[in-house]
């Protein structure tokens, strides 16, 4: 396994075991630093993984900081909802809900790209 492949593996492993959370690039760097990945390799890999659809980028309210979260196979063709306070992102699990949103757009000339669609809201934990 080449050095750069190894770095990507480490990152993917990190995201995979934290697939319900989102992190800034800075946090990812801190949490994986013990595994010997350089900062620049992390940023490079994040960009590549986002481009290939393995990571989803979200932002929180009032901040331009990007948060990244792993996109697993279950994510495909689901609309996601992201908490503007903590950045937690989930997909709408029932296809009906995604369907509902598609129906809303039925009379418009647009077709929804579910993989790219993120709704923003406040999660249960942050509402307390």
DSSP conformation class of 82 = E
Q: Toward Zn ion, which CB reaches closer, 43 or 117?
A: 117
Smallest separation, CB 59 to Zn ion (Å):
14
Question: What's the distance, CA 54 to chain centroid?
Answer: 8
Site string for Zn ion, 54-93 (x = CB under 5 A): ---------------------x-------x-xx-x--x--
Question: What's the distance, CA 28 to chain centroid?
Answer: 13
Site for Zn ion contains 126 (CB under 5 A)? yes
Q: Toward Zn ion, which CB reaches closer, 11 or 83?
A: 83
CA–CA gap between residue 41 and residue 47 (Å, rounded): 10
Residues between 91 and 120 that touch Zn ion (CB under 5 A): 91
**Residue 12 burial (CB count, 10 A):** 15
Q: Among 2, 61, 33, which residue's Cα sits nearest to residue 11?
A: 33
Q: Among 24, 1, 3, 29, which residue's Cα sits nearest to residue 11?
A: 29
Q: Toward Zn ion, which CB reaches closer, 46 or 87?
A: 87
Site for Zn ion contains 19 (CB under 5 A)? no
Site for Zn ion contains 21 (CB under 5 A)? no
Q: What are the residues binding Zn ion (CB under 5 A)?
A: 75, 83, 85-86, 88, 91, 123, 126
């Amino acid at each position: 396994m080449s050095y750069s492949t190894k770095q990507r593996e480490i990152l993917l492993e990190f995201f995979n075991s934290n697939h319900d959370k989102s992190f800034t690039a800075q946090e990812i760097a801190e949490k994986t630093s013990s595994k010997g990945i350089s900062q620049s390799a992390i940023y490079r890999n994040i960009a590549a993984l986002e481009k290939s659809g393995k990571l989803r980028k979200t932002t929180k309210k009032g901040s331009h900081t990007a948060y990244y979260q792993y996109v697993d196979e279950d994510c495909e063709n689901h609309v996601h909802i992201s908490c503007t306070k903590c950045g937690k992102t989930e997909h709408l699990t029932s296809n009906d809900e995604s369907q509902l949103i598609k129906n809303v757009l039925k009379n418009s000339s647009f077709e929804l790209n579910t993989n790219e669609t993120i709704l923003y809201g406040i999660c249960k934990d942050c509402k307390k």
